[in-house]
Amino acid sequence: MTLVARAPLLSLDDALERLLANASPSLYTEQVPVGDADGRVLAEDVVSALHVPSQDNSAMDGYALRCGDVVQLGTTLPMSQRIAAGANGQALQTGTVARIFTGAPVPPGADAVVMQEDCTALPPSDVAPDVPLVQFNTQPTPGQNIRRAGEDVALGDVVLSRGQRLGPAELGLAASIGMASLAVARRPRVALFSTGDELVIPGTVAPQEMAPGAIYNSNRYFLAALLRRMGCVVTDLGIVPDQREATVQALRDAAQSHDVILTSGGVSVGEEDHIKPAVQALGTLDLWQIAIKPGKPFAYGRIGGAHFVGLPGNPVSSFVTFMVLVRPFLLQLQGMQHVAMKTVAAQADFTWARADKRREFLRVRRNAAGALELFANQGSGVLTSAVWGDGLVDNPPGKTIVPGDTVQFVSFAELLV
């Protein structure tokens, strides 16, 4: 019998490059109210139609004046007007000050605002009993405590760029220039299902009544949550039996009305793993098995107009491959410009002596000293490691780690936004 050499596993970088080459952003956009746009991806640049602030205004509660009128410490000047936020003052008379409040427009003629803590309010004099007096206990400088018109945003500035993912700060900035709605990419429609006769949906069978070999389907829940965090509209198709015909039918039906089909389980090479032949019967399979640990059984293909992504069944494998491969793919589908996983250098406070030929993603968390400690059990089925940890060490193939080594850390906080 002639043995056929197995093709080498595809590197993660090559797999991601090929995956993203297929992630052409959708041309469909929609207008949504600014208050509903959190997490969405901008489809058009946002250009300011005004200055922010619209005019010079006070950064403090205090007194607006001409610096030249305060010739020495202790100078006392009469107050000629009072300006609150939202009101317009008059041109400042020479030798007088204006009581002013934070956000109020600086009156013409004033070139500084002195905070009230550096002043002393005095009673009116006998000469002018209706005019309060203010004594200055500091020497002002021109421009002091004045926010200039347009210093935050200038008329015509592109304040938010197409392909930018919107968060709370971005929504506030859009509102600050008067935007009531924003053009965003349509949410990807994703069909999600798991395969495996051993899977049980929580709530349908009590723990004490579980059959031998049965397990609760955890992947369904964290994958649905991850998809929603990535801005997707999720159709949960539940569990598909380990049968070729059932798998083909589920894929065919899902492809009719979804942009992406995401499955977990059934992408290995066992006799009960039906995903690969089912996808090939309906469309094409372009990626199959990646040189990463955990997560080697990863698949990508097309079924009609829908993208197919197959994740491993082991929970941590499914979790990690979603983070490093599916997340950037889904964000680029929505037109996001920068989707690469960000790593930062960190110090290891653990030993990793079992170097693997595949690129590894180790579950870790920062300790009180800021270094990284390792979860003891790095098995691909140990989902507690993802809860205990606050990120991953991206460890190159063949690399061991000893305490004090510099490693590349990927924060879950970065990946989950």
List the Cα angle 228/234/239 in 5-degree steps.
120
Of how many residues is the chain composed? Answer: 417
Chain centroid offset of residue 129 CA: 60
Q: Give residue-wise pLDDT tens across range 120-176.
A: 999 887 767 888 999 999 999 999 999 999 999 999 999 999 999 999 999 999 999
Which residue bears the tokens 């004594």? 135
The closest alpha carbon to 97, from 73, 68, 128, 72, belongs to: 68
DSSP letter (8 states) at residue 35? G
Residue partners of 20: CB distance under 8 A and separation at least 6: 328, 329, 332, 339
Token pair belonging to 253: 């039906």
Q: Which amino acid is at 253?
A: D
Q: Containing H/E element for 360?
A: strand 359-366
Cβ contacts of 2 within 8 Å, gap of 6 or more: none
Q: What pLDDT shows up at residue 3?
A: 46
Q: Is the peptide bond before 108 cis (omega within 30 degrees of 0)?
A: no
pLDDT of residue 274: 79
Using only C-alpha atoms, the chain has a radius of gyration, in whole angstroms, of 31
Residue 152 is encoded by which pair of tokens? 């935050």
Could you give the residue ranges of the DSSP H alpha helices within 90-243? 168-176, 219-229
Which amino acid would we find at residue 258?
Answer: H
Which parts of the chain have pLDDT scores under 70? 1-7, 127, 267-273
Contacts of 14 (CB under 8 A, 6+ apart): none
Give just the sign of the alpha carbon dihedral 34, 39, 43, 44.
positive
Which of 368, 360, 371, 415 is closest to 391 using CA atoms?
415
**pLDDT at res. 322:** 97
Structure-block tokens of residue 186: 């349509």
| Angstrom distance (rounded) from CA 258 to CA 201 | 23
Neighbouring residues of 313: CB distance < 8 A, sequence distance ≥ 6: 194, 195, 196, 219, 264, 265, 266, 267, 268, 297
Q: Domains, the chain, ranges and CATH?
A: 12-26+187-333 (3.40.980.10), 29-49+158-185 (3.90.105.10), 57-147 (2.170.190.11), 344-415 (2.40.340.10)
